[in-house]
Each structure stands twice: as C-alpha cells, then as structure tokens.
Chains A and B, each alone.
Chain A
Amino acid sequence: MINSTEFARRMRVHILDMIYSAKASHIGSALSCTDIVAVLYNNILKIESDDPHRFKNRDRIVFSKGHASASLYAALALAGFFPEEELATFYKNGSKLSGHVSHKVPGVEFSTGSLGHGLSVAVGMALAAKKRGEAWRSFAILSDGECDEGSTWEAALFANQFKLDNLLLIIDYNKIQSLDYTKMVLDLEPFEAKWKSFGWESISVDGHNHKELHRALSSCPINKGSPSVIIAHTVKGKGISFMEDKVLWHYRCPDEEEYKRAVQELKGV
C-alpha cells in the first residue's frame, strides 16, 4: 500500500491528464481538494472496492462539489474501484465518467453537480445510521462557494437539531469561486464562527498537510452529540505552481505548453 502523499501525487497526475485530454474546466477545484480526498480514500474511509454498494456498513461519502469530479474519479481508480486506464475516458462520448460526479461510476455514492444538494443528502444518510444504531459514518465534501447556497445552511440547522455526531463535513476552503475570490463575491467570514453558531464542532486544518488531515478526520466526532466540520484551508490549483491561488484556473484548461510545464512539476521530469 502506498502512503497518502504518494496517493495524492498520483491523483494530481491523473487529474492533469484527464482535464487536459478532455479540454475541461475546474482543474483548480480538483487540485485544491486532492489531499483531503487522498487521505480519506487511502486511510480513513471504511469501504470495499470489490463490492462498493453491498457492503451495508460502508462509510457513505457525498462529494458535493461535483465539478471537481476528476479528483474523486482519480481517487476511486487508485483505490481499485475501476481500472486507472478508464480515467482516459473522462468527458468522452459514451463514457461513464461525466464532467460532474455520477453515481453510475463504481464507488460513487451520490451524483452531484448542482451545488447545495450534497450536505442534505449526507445528513439524511447520517440520520439513517443513527436511527438504526449502525456504526458507519456519513461524510460530505463541500466547496466554499456552495456555502453561498441557502440549502447548505438548512442542512446545517437540521444536523445540529438531530445531533448527528456521525456526520463529518469537510469544506475545501480554497477561497476562490467561479468568477472571483469568495471574499469579493459573498464573504463567508467569519466562517468557522458561523458553523459554531449553528451548533457544529469545528476544526481548522491546513488542507494540504496530511498529518493534520489524518488527525482531524480520525478525531471525529469532535464532541459527542454534535455534527463535526473540518474547515480545510486549501490553495486552489495546489501542486502546479502557476495555477495556485489564481481565479483563472477555475475555468481555464491548460494549453500544450502549460500542460508540459505542469507535468514537469508533478513528475519532476
């Protein structure tokens, strides 16, 4: 078994190849959550790749920032849910690997793509486990931008009301959304205080530090009787220097020269 750092490095190589080959967008979003996803799939989640949906007590994960699908698909392939070669079909005609997350892909629990849906569904799953006294946990990964959506905060209220301490939300707080910095669009700050005021227990971590991520993800529920949120401070486009913290790389797809530079950085060749 590889470690999560190597898992994340391989994910980034796949993400770059997939998005370049597909002439697709959202590379910055996929790279910002890569380390979170790597630690989850490599170290944390209780799932079985050979029978993803019949393992009744598997952890559920709703990847709500569906536009960063390349990240999830790369992780699922590396975790053995389907062959890595299939990643080359991303976005392609006749493929299962759609631009936004699809539950038709092995290992995907829930389809997303329209922001603000995922947390409610993860909340429902957590409530189901609670009601039945089952030990599995429900995870949701949200973007910061989708905290603009009112439905996210409806779900936040509900999770606290029903004391869903088996629910673990990770927010990829890269501070950039589609057209601008979140601060310039709808400022989320004081962000952590907002979650606390909704009754959630929170931890802020460096979303690229695997030790911190591992420790935070392993220490949930932070407090018995409360839902947990990990606010992962991340950098959009992390891992490819010229993409980091640039609004441009929400939508831009690398051209050939940029692709070659990015490959050099990720593979060190």
Chain B
Amino acid sequence: MRASLIRNIYNIAEKDANLLLITGDLGFGFLDDFQSKLKDQFINAGIAEQNLIGVATGLSLSGYISFCYSIGNFLSLRCLEQIRNDVSYHDANVKIVSVGGGFSYGPLGVSHHCLEDLAIMRAIPNLSVAVPGSKNEAREIARIAYQEKGPFYIRLEREGFEEEEIAEMVFGKIRPLSNKGEIAILGCGGILGELFKAKQILERKQPVSLYSIPFLRPFDEAFIRQLAMEKKYIITVEEGLISGGLGGSVCEVVSQMDSRKAKVSNIGVPHQFCYEVGDQMHLRKKYGLDANSLAQQIMNIIS
C-alpha cells in the first residue's frame, strides 16, 4: 500500500510543483524517485517531527501542499498539538502520512505499535482521517487527499486485500466489497486482507456482506444507519483501539437511532499494552485478528 500511495503522490507531484513531500528522515527505499528526480519538492526535515509539522503548516499557509511522511506514532501522537493547533485549526493544506499502522512493525515493540492513532486523530475537528485497505484504495486516497483542500491524516499499513482495478473512490464514502445476506462485516485498513479470508470460511455456512471503511472522517453515517435498518448484524473489525476507532464510530451513529434491526459488535485490540514480541501475524493471532479467529468470533456472535 505504501508504494502505491507514494507512487501516486509522485505522479501528481510531477504535474504540480506545489506538492511537497516532507519526510522525518524515514522512507528508505520508498522515496528514492522523489529524492533524485523531484529534488525541489523533497524535504528531509530530520528527526524532528514537531518542527516538521510546523514547517509544513507554514509552507501550506503560503500556498504549498505538504505531504508529511513518517512512521505511525511519530507524526500522530508526538505532534498531536501541532496537528490540532497549527494544521487543523488553521485549515492548512497539510497531509500527514503515517506508515506502519496497527501491528505492521510488531517485533519493534510498543513504541511502534500504532493502535490509538485513529481514535486520537478522529477527535480533532477539521481533520479528515483515511485508512486505505488495498493498493487501489491507497492510490485513490492519495488523489483524494491532494484534491480535497485541507488537513488530512492517512494511516497506512503493510498489506491489504487484493482486488481488481476499481472505479474512482468517493471522498467520505463506504465501499461495499460484497453484499449478500444479513451479516454486515465492516473493516478498515490492512485487516481487510484477513477479513476476506474469514469471509470465505464463513460463507461455507451463510452469506456475509463485507465493507471497506476507508474514511473515519468524514464518516459515512447515512450508510451506517441504512445498514442498521437492513441487516441483522453489524460487526466491526479493526487492528487498533475499538474505543474511538471504527467500532466507536459505528456505535456513536447507531446509538442515536430510535430503532434499528442490527445488533452491533466490535472486534479490535484490547485497551492494553502488548508486551509480547511478535510479527504482525503473530500479534493478530494473539488478539484473535487472524482469519480463522475472526471467522470463529463472528460465528459466535451470530449463533
């Protein structure tokens, strides 16, 4: 997903000299083209993320479009106040790209587990929050972030789901990936890869619908309300904190409905630090987020 997003940002930057890529001294091997062919549009701000976001704000308030690049928590949590006060309050055209969402950097430990970012970014007014689940979505989100003026946060994970070429995505809209039966499974980000496999397991017994939620802000509330009226189950799945994340977002909407048909359940990472060393798949299994565990959990919910 990272290569797909960066490639599209590069393609856009080739045509628009106002697009800048600012890295916090990260992106080894992924930013080479930018660094060598678009030198004037590439800035390495060093390992100084707070300044990076402030500089990006100043550049954007002076007419540039600043795409900022670093690893998960380094831009989101460390620079929370810069993102709130400087970028979002001033409606600066700054796009924050965080790679390594969820447990992408699992073995590196808690500093690199990026699990709370979506909940925290979602809490900031005037900030769009996007989570691509496939290479296509990553490419499209680069385009949308460029075209939509204003602050953007993009969480990228390592692997997503495979899909054929898609039509243009619509900003703020949920993407139905399949629509069969009364069980609606909603996922965001790379975990959709596991959900596709879980879906195959589940469909041996009953049909299920699967939806990608590429935007937590703006959030497609109308679509959620419609699902809550039509489906028997809404099950949210995320590689991150449920509270304030996708699960929280859905619950905020359905709790305001006078009546609904759907029972809502949330699957995600529990509210605790993970002390265990392990790669992404190991940690997904630990928390029941691999395809088999997900299928089992979903079967338990619907039975």
Contact = CB atoms under 8 A, between A and B. Distances in A.
A110 interface: yes
A124 B85 contact: no
A129 B90 contact: no
Contacts of B50: 116, 120, 150-151, 154
Nearest to B84: A114
Given A121-B57, A125-B62, A157 B48 contact: yes
A138 to B, nearest CB: 8
A151 B51 contact: yes
Nearest to B61: A125
A113 B56 CA distance: 19
Nearest to A102: B89
A131 interface: yes
B53 interface: yes
Given A127-B55, A128-B64, A121 B86 contact: yes
Interface residues of A, number: 31
Contact of B51 (A103, A123, A129, A131): A123
B61 A110 contact: yes
Contacts of B56: 124
B169 interface: no
A175 interface: no
Interface in A20-36: none
Nearest to A134: B62
Contact of B81 (A114, A126, A154): A114
A117 B87 CA distance: 11
Interface residues of B, number: 25
Interface string B75-116: 000000110011001100000000000000000000000000
A78 interface: no
B63 interface: yes
B45 interface: yes
B54 A121 contact: yes
Given A129-B62, A151-B50, A103 B90 contact: yes
Interface string B21-60: 0000000000000000000100101101011011111111
B51 A120 contact: yes
Residue of A109, A116, A121, A155 contacting most chain B CB atoms (<10 Å): A121
Given A103-B90, A111-B89, A113-B85, A128 B63 contact: yes
Residue of B46, B51, B57, B82 contacting most chain A CB atoms (<10 Å): B51
Interface of A: 60, 62, 103, 109-111, 113-114, 116-117, 119-129, 131-132, 138, 150-151, 154-155, 157-158, 161
Given A121-B55, A150-B50, A158-B48, 13 more contacts: A109-B61, A110-B90, A113-B85, A117-B82, A117-B85, A120-B82, A121-B54, A124-B56, A124-B62, A129-B62, A154-B46, A154-B50, A154-B51
22 contacts: A62-B58, A103-B90, A111-B85, A114-B81, A117-B82, A120-B82, A122-B58, A123-B55, A124-B55, A124-B60, A125-B58, A125-B62, A127-B59, A128-B58, A128-B64, A151-B48, A154-B48, A154-B51, A158-B45, A158-B46, A158-B51, A158-B55
